Amino acid sequence: MEPEHQASPGGRESAEAFFRRRGTPTGEQTMKRAAVVRKEARLEFPEVMNLNQLAAYLQLSPQTIYKKVERGEIPGAKIGRQWRFKRAVIDEWLERTALLSPSGLDLLMQATKEAADRAGYRPEDVDRLIEKVRAETGR
Average pLDDT over every residue of 11-29: 58
Average pLDDT over every residue of 37-62: 84
Domain ranges of the chain: 101-139
pLDDT, tens only, 65-120: 999 999 999 999 999 999 999 999 999 998 888 767 677 677 777 778 888 888 88
Q: What is the pLDDT of residue 3?
A: 47
Q: What is the pLDDT of residue 73?
A: 92
User: What separation in angstroms does the CA of 123 have from each of 1, 135, 136?
Assistant: 35, 18, 20
Least confident of 9-13, 29-33, 93-97: 9-13
Residues, the chain, total?
139
Percent of the chain with pLDDT over 70: 65
Q: What is the pLDDT of residue 42?
A: 56
Q: 92 — alpha (psi -120 to 50), left (phi > 0) or beta?
A: alpha
| Backbone φ and ψ of 91, nearest 5° | -60, -40
Q: What is the pLDDT of residue 25?
A: 55
| Closest C-alpha among 22, 42, 43, 25 to residue 33 | 25
Q: What is the pLDDT of residue 128?
A: 84
- Across 87-101, b (16+ Cβ under 10 Å) vs e yields beebeebbeeebeee
